[in-house]
Amino acid sequence: MLNKTNLRRSMTILVFLFSATQFSFSQNNFKVTGKITDATGKPLEGATVQVKGTAAATATKTDGSFEINAPSGNSILVISYVGFLEQEIPLKGQAHVSITLNSLANSLDDVVVVGYGTRKKTDVTGVVSSISGEKLRSVPTTNLTSALQGRIPGLEVRANSYRPGSGARVIIRGNRSLNTGNEPLYVVDGIPVSYTIDDMNPLDIESVDVLKDASATAIYGVRGANGVVQITTRKGRAGKVSVQYEGSTSFDNILKNLPVFNAPQLADSWRQAFFADRVYNFAQSTTAPNNYFPNAAADVKLFGGNTGNAMWSFIKNAYQFTTFNTATNTYIATKRPTTAEERALLANLGLPVLTEVDAYDPSRIQGFDWQGAAIRQGITSTHNINLSAGSDKIKSSFGGGYFKQKGIEYGQDYTRYSVSNNSEFKLAKFLTFGSGISYVNSVQNVGPSLYGNASGQLPFTQPYDSTGKFDLYPNDDQQIINGLNDVNTVFNEIKANRIFGNVYAEVTLLKGLRYKAVFGIDSRNTRQGTFNGAASSVRQGALANAGQTVTNSLSWVYNNLLYYDFKIKKDH
């Protein structure tokens, strides 16, 4: 049984507990709302808002607004967004905040990545241009270097080849040497890489900085003489798990084939040239030209019928023959009467007026579309995914990519798979450890050059003879080879495996004084297999041959960097 004293004590305890509960509840539910925009006032959707020191995080809506619960009105919000500087905003009791983020790509007061750290753009006097990964991915392209085309002033991208997987060359503000390479140095997360950056998953890119300033590239020595393309990869961010996927499929076709004559047009052009020559001879002698109109006896000579040339075997289909005169070794074709207009034309030309000429039907010439036989509709498919998450102690980002390009020429294609991981661990207040590793597997079928070969073929010839056998020399000219069979007889495949990345440790020695050790590696293994069959344009009936080339290469770098950050008062 409770007396008054005990009851009074119990009520006091209950009131205290209730007050403590209310205090605890209020401390963990300081509601904060706000809006995040860029420098132009445009809302930023998907910006990460985290309460520093906690796991509480959210993302902005389409209009840039957000809502989050903080432990107290004295909490600090950490705002981050791809392509923008990360900011820390002390609440100072404010329940509503408006935040403007500065763009990495556009602000002159912004920080750019240089060889030995970061600098303000206003402090860099040479060529410095930046582009965020988001803008880089806004237009689908087949490779990373092509995505830079037209995005950065002074940077020129030249395709190495039209073949899938061939990549492109990058030149910053023109050539600097006639004898040596002019490509810039590629640096990924502070580590120079020896091979193409086209292996990288575009979703893994945070930003690209192009450096030409002497001080910015000084740490790389002569390797930076042609400029430096500095790539910063995405890191995990504190807060909830973020998953991003990008995919596209495109179709490729030749915009316009090379303009060439079809079979009847080419035959007529040859005939007209032959006639013009005979008109000239007629002016010099008494030999009258008799083939202004198609004439079988003249065509058999013009197109090699007397020598067994294959061209005549196609042209003769336009005529209807009655007999073959063995005495004169000429064909006698069916005649047709000339029209009044044709007789008037002959008279105006000062030529004998013929009442009949050989019947000729050009539609009966069996032509072949050599260019069309060499090409197909190309298809390019790209699928990339990125997963990131983190806290104050651990931040990690995982990426995966698939790229498949079927070339517009038969026998040419390229496939690439890539995986990557970028992690950072805060082991202690003064010690940070991190790594960024990527693995790429690719297969390139180089294939034969069918289109260029096909463009040199005569349109009234066929790739196969009358028996259906592949004809290596359809023009009866061993200088003009039929290469269409190379799709089945030529094999040239390049398989590559590549691992590149870095590990680092950073120690804060004193206030403003940091030491960073970085070890980077770029390892690549390629295996190229070739086969040229006996019926290929390479061997031309000789024995088939085959070969294999294996290349292993490894480059590594170890950097020791010491940073000292300090501020001088504005009046000094």
Torsion of CA 180, 184, 188, 192, to 10 degrees: 30
CATH class of 4-100: mainly beta
Over 90: is that where the pLDDT of 569 sits? Answer: no
Joined tokens for residue 564 = 């000292």
536 vs 488: CA distance, rounded Å: 8
Question: Over the stretch 225-261, which tens digit does the pLDDT of each residue have?
Answer: 788 888 888 887 777 788 989 888 988 888 777 788 8
Q: Say what the pLDDT of residue 4 is.
A: 41
Q: Say what the pLDDT of residue 554 is.
A: 93
Q: Which residue type occupies 287?
A: T
Mean residue pLDDT across the chain: 80
Numbered ranges of CATH 2.170.130.10 in the chain: 111-233
Query: How confident is the model over 497-517, as a mean pLDDT?
Result: 93
Query: How confident is the model over 2-8, as a mean pLDDT?
Result: 41
Q: In sequence order, which ranges of 41-90 are alpha helices (DSSP H)?
A: none
24 vs 539: CA distance, rounded Å: 85
Q: Say what the pLDDT of residue 178 is.
A: 46
Which among 355-364, 461-470, 549-558 has the top mean pLDDT?
549-558
518 vs 229: CA distance, rounded Å: 19
Q: Say what the pLDDT of residue 124 is.
A: 53
Question: Over the stretch 303-326, which tens digit does the pLDDT of each residue have?
Answer: 776 555 667 778 888 888 777 666
Long-range contacts of 153-156 (CB under 8 A, 24+ apart): 153/129, 154/127, 154/129, 154/210, 154/212, 155/129, 155/210
* CA dist 261 → 409, 461, 515 (Å): 22, 13, 71
- What is the per-residue DSSP string for 232-272? EE----SEEEEEEEEEEEEEE--SS------HHHHHHHHHH
Q: Say what the pLDDT of residue 445 is.
A: 94
Over 80: is that where the pLDDT of 376 sits? Answer: yes
Per-residue confidence at 165, pLDDT binned at 50, 70, 90? confident
Query: How confident is the model over 275-285, as a mean pLDDT?
Result: 61
Q: Which of 110, 102, 112, 120 is nearest to 47 (CA)?
A: 102
Query: How confident is the model over 133-155, as a mean pLDDT?
Result: 74
Question: Over the stretch 88-110, which tens digit does the pLDDT of each residue have?
Answer: 999 988 999 999 988 765 444 45
Per-residue confidence at 12, pLDDT binned at 50, 70, 90? very low
Question: Over the stretch 26-74, which tens digit does the pLDDT of each residue have?
Answer: 345 789 999 999 888 889 877 878 888 776 778 788 899 999 989 888 8
536 vs 453: CA distance, rounded Å: 13
- Other CB atoms closer than 10 Å to residue 468's CB: what's the count? 7
Per-residue confidence at 423, pLDDT binned at 50, 70, 90? very high
Joined tokens for residue 210 = 């192009």
Question: Over the stretch 188-204, which tens digit does the pLDDT of each residue have?
Answer: 988 888 888 888 888 88
Per-residue confidence at 5, pLDDT binned at 50, 70, 90? very low
pTM to 2 decimals?
A: 0.69
188 vs 213: CA distance, rounded Å: 18
| Burial profile 15-50: b = 16 or more Cβ within 10 angstroms, e = fewer | eeeeeeeeeeeeeeebebebbbbbeeeeebeebbbb
Per-residue confidence at 565, pLDDT binned at 50, 70, 90? confident
- Given a contact cutoff of 8 angstroms between Cβ atoms, the answer to whether 347 and 380 are in contact is no
Phi, psi of 373 (to 5 degrees): -75, -15
Joined tokens for residue 157 = 């991208």
Over 80: is that where the pLDDT of 485 sits? Answer: yes
Over 70: is that where the pLDDT of 278 sits? Answer: no
> What spatial distance separates the first Cα and last Cα of the chain, rounded to whole Å?
78
Question: Over the stretch 426-479, which tens digit does the pLDDT of each residue have?
Answer: 999 999 999 999 999 999 999 888 887 887 788 878 888 778 888 888 776 677
Numbered ranges of CATH 2.60.40.1120 in the chain: 4-100
CATH fold for domain 111-233 = Ferric Hydroxamate Uptake Protein; Chain A, domain 1 (2.170.130)
Pairwise pLDDT comparison (502 vs 147), residue with the higher score: 502
21-35, 214-228, 418-432, 527-541: which has the minimum mean pLDDT? 21-35
Over 90: is that where the pLDDT of 494 sits? Answer: yes
- Given a contact cutoff of 8 angstroms between Cβ atoms, the answer to whether 187 and 232 are in contact is no
Query: How confident is the model over 118-139, as a mean pLDDT?
Result: 65
Pairwise pLDDT comparison (470 vs 397), residue with the higher score: 397
Over 50: is that where the pLDDT of 401 sits? Answer: yes
Percent above pLDDT 90 for the chain:
25
Q: Say what the pLDDT of residue 24 is.
A: 35
